[in-house]
Structure 1
């Protein structure tokens, strides 16, 4: 699998034409909420999820482990189908740093927080994951046929599956 991160700048619309699909990492952090400041702040221009609201949803005992975080933090779409030799553009449209890390099995993230991981074991691929800054992008290519699991190793409920298969 090849993942190439790049500088965070907006791409012109035509730049997406070279990719079979796009996955967008989203979050709706409130840029005016100082609660995000100790962990890098929120670099969105707009957003309405306060740090307190984010924390309440993380700590809810009602949240199942497959949905352990705030749903404004997500991969969109969560499922993509491509053909062999296609590439996928991954864009961070959120205000927080995210990763797009291929993992054998979905699991916890690299930040050892009970609130973030809800008892899930850290996916072994997460400690060496590559951060993608707000506004940044990465390309994923060279995937073998089959299903490939990707997650944000900071917010491990952010997940996507890329299915590679030959066109019938």
Structure 2
């Protein structure tokens, strides 16, 4: 048998195999069309590297934004900095869907589930929420620094995946308590 015949036969077999595989793919339902979906929630801030790192230490802010520490502090008196936020104040998803939380800012944030919104763990920042009582988690305990391990999302990290049960869920950053969102799972 000539090598030309063997090559032609192999190419023909590969083409037939590819055509069969393509017909299976085309006949299959679209991936994820009826299955669970992932909704991306973005945590954002605009920390100015120079002033934030000079105030809080090298590496505190890793992505240069336009808000200086002085402006951030002044903004606390007006309900928190509008440059610190979660992209969706309200979101509705279906049961089984997930939330993929990413930090597109320059400093650490959390996406902590709370039963009641309230103050966070940095007392000077709580003036932004009128020094409300400390936020309470669904289990009835107050938010604390221990929540960073389960709900902290660092800048540039792979993110945090959350699959909430049916019902209404509230999330806030325990550092920046005006960063809040309500997620309804239907």
Number of residue pairs aligned between Structure 1 and Structure 2: 139
Secondary structure at the counterpart of residue 92 of structure 2: strand
In the superposition, the TM-score normalised over structure 1's length comes to 0.75
Contact 1:108 1:120 in 2 (8 A): yes
Matching of residue 29 in structure 1 with residue 54 in structure 2: no
Query: Residues 32-64 of structure 1: CA distance to partner in whole angstroms, max 9, x if unpaired?
Result: 2244434952110x3100011001111x2xx3x
Q: CA deviation at 1:80?
A: 1.5
Higher strand share: 1
User: Which residue in 2 is equivalent to 1:147?
Assistant: 168
Structure number with higher relative contact order (C-alpha < 8 Å, ≥ 6 residues apart)? 1
**Unmatched 5+ stretches in structure 1:** 1-17
Matching of residue 123 in structure 1 with residue 145 in structure 2: no
Contact 2:117 2:136 in 1 (8 A): no
Rounded to whole Å, the distance in 2 between the matches of 1:83 and 1:105 is 23
Q: Which of 87-96 and 124-133 deviates more?
A: 124-133
Q: Which runs of 4+ in 1 moved over 4 A?
A: none
Q: Note the aligned Cα RMSD (angstroms).
A: 1.9
Matching of residue 20 in structure 1 with residue 38 in structure 2: yes
Of the candidates 65, 85, 94, which is equivalent to residue 105 of structure 2? 94
Indicate how the Cα distance of structure 1 residues 105 and 40 shifts in structure 2: closer, same or farther if over 3 A, else same.
farther
Of the candidates 40, 49, 59, which is equivalent to residue 67 of structure 2? 49
Higher helix share: 2
**Unmatched 5+ stretches in structure 2:** 1-35, 138-142
User: Which residue in 1 is equivalent to 2:123?
Assistant: 112
Contact 2:116 2:136 in 1 (8 A): no
